[in-house]
Structure 1
Amino acid sequence: MESYIIIFLCVAAFAAGFIDAIVGGGGLIQTPAGLILLPNLPVSTVIGTLKIPAFSGTSFAAYQYLKKVNMNWKLLLTMMAVALPSAFMGSTLLTYMSNDFMKPLLLFILSLLAIYTYAKKNFGQHVEKNISEKTLILNAIMISFIVGFYDGFIGPGTGSFFVVAFIALMGFDFLHASANAKMVNLATNFGSICLFAIKGKIIWAIALPMAASNAMGGWLGAKLAISKGNSFIRIFFLVVVVGTLIRFAYDVFFI
């Protein structure tokens, strides 16, 4: 394989890791780059290979968050335990069917999400204290299962979906939502990697250099998010959601 292809993929991986560490959505950069630059490979092989840098970048970002953000470990471990097998099931389904039918639905959901986040200025600016522990756990399980399955089945925008779900249904602010999203996203990536590794869908010669680049981007993105706080993350979140909207709109109307 030509060296320039690896270089372009590594640049895309760095950018994806940086964005993903702040609010999620790195797959909007990394996945199209992989599909465009590796056109002769099966889609499942490209997606499987890209899960390695995604896991690497998320790991480094999660480490940065864990050093600075207090976590509810009981709740977090519950979410990770649900998300991992859910993503495995989603990736299993991906190997048998197309996911194109979901894109119009996602376009509609993302449009509502962008409008709501923009209009509600205090969305995700503080931690909500009035949610019972039972409700918190039930919502955590539901979010982890649904978004985890989505990550295994489709992928792009997973981090953003986790962030908004944690804010809207669990009362987190943007910083705590991003920190928890990184950890749960680790579980979903690992679940998908298990499936793709079993089926021999990972090309390690491509995955490893991209993983190093994604990790560096994730490290820098997490440090920036932690230092800038909730207002910065909210703005960045809106930018990424609009980017996701444009991507899905292109897929729905022009492909």
Structure 2
Amino acid sequence: MQPPEDINCIIVEDESPAATVLQMHIAQFPFLKLKGTFSSSTKALSVLNSEQIDLVFLDINLPGMPGNRFASTIKATTGIIFTTAYSKYAVQGFELNAVDYLLKPIPFERFSKAINRYLTLYKHSGAILPTVDKTDTKPFVFVKCDRKTVKVFLNDILYLEAQRNCLLIFTEHEIYRSYLAISEMEEKLPDTLFLRVHRSFIIALNKVKAYNSSYVVIQDKQIPIGRMYSDVFNSTLRANVK
């Protein structure tokens, strides 16, 4: 496989330890070219205006202009990966069409997944493409279904089910049939909003009506929880129950 072309990136982070972790992770990818680390959004403006920056690692909680407000001023062709210690900002981050949302402290494996997502969205012609229209505040993905590519809004997705050689995407309004592998779709969906609960199922966490140790209920559908996924499912649901 041909290596990716160079990707110019910056870090906007006011906490020195968090910035250091990001710098160390970035250094593991030769194609990521770090052009600067800034402690506030205002300090980052100069390099964004003077250089071609492809990717911004952006903390939401910044002095002066918060990261979520700053993100809306960044041109649509620049990818944004949010970093923060607060999971409550996840949905807001994806409403701004962020590539990904990383919760501190950031493990290298999770950082790697975010980079792969960026490469898929911005650098390759894959089955799922990013939106670059920041006037559309509802996050969505384009998915190849049969002989056409359709826009699917993330908040409309109920669950996804792998069946034989196809993937069914169940939404509030209709069912889409794609020939993506469920693992490919799992890589594309934000894991703060979606969770794999079975080898054949991915669910939207905010659509869960009820659950027990064996299954989860979305609308009137009982979706089985696989044994190898049960621990992650239970810990994720506990984290979302206040």
Tell me the TM-score normalised to structure 1 length: 0.25
The structure with higher relative contact order (CA 8 Å, sep 6+) is: 1
Query: Could you say which structure has the higher helix fraction?
Result: 1
Bigger-Rg structure (1/2)? 2
More strand by share: 2
What is the TM-score of this pair, normalised by structure 2? 0.26
